[in-house]
Amino acid sequence: MGIFSTIMTKIFGHAEAAPSSGSSGSAATTPEAATASAPSAPSSPVDVQAVLTALAEQKGQTLNWRTSIVDLLKLLDMDSSLEARKHLAQELHYSESTEDSAAMNVWLIRQVMQKLAENGGKVPEDLRH
């Protein structure tokens, strides 16, 4: 399973485990359940911002997942190392130099949000561009 597939599984898996009332209640699920199988696309749009905001509240630490791919990966309990981000960049067809990690990171967070939107995630427009 690729890194993006894991990101998608973790976010969409938390959404499926969350109460359907749309409340900001805990999206309680085990990491094993969240990564059991990669969803191809959810049956209804997943509010990515709501899921990630709820996860950030549960973590109890400040993670700027909106603009930082490193913080997004940390929020999802994933490897946020430079090597992992380079692998994600390759997976998402990043065409620039991965040696400029700042530029790559900016591209990655936007691309991940765009891809989540393309795969059934409800992502605010400002997070995709």
Alpha-carbon span 35 to 82, nearest angstrom = 22
Please give the pLDDT value at position 31: 38
Note down the domain range covering 67.
3-34+46-128
Please give the pLDDT value at position 93: 97
40 found inside a domain: no
Q: What is the 3-state secondary structure (H, E, C) of the chain?
A: CCHHHHHHHHHHHHHHHCCCCCCCCCCCCCHHHHCCCCCCCCCCCEEHHHHHHHHHHHHCCCCCCCCCHHHHHHHCCCCCCHHHHHHHHHHCCCCCCCCCHHHHHHHHHHHHHHHHHHCCEECCHHHHC
Dump pLDDT digits (tens) for 86-127: 999 999 999 999 999 999 999 999 999 999 999 999 999 988
28 found inside a domain: yes
Average pLDDT, the chain: 83
Q: Could you tell me the pTM of the whole model?
A: 0.79
41 found inside a domain: no
The total of structural domains in the chain comes to 1
As a whole-number percent, the residues of the chain with pLDDT over 90 amount to 67
82 found inside a domain: yes
81 found inside a domain: yes
Alpha-carbon span 106 to 72, nearest angstrom = 12
Please give the pLDDT value at position 38: 45
108 found inside a domain: yes
66 found inside a domain: yes
Dump pLDDT digits (tens) for 26-65: 333 333 333 344 455 666 889 999 999 999 999 888 899 9
Q: Which residues contact 24 (CB under 8 A, 6 or more apart)?
A: 50, 53, 54, 57
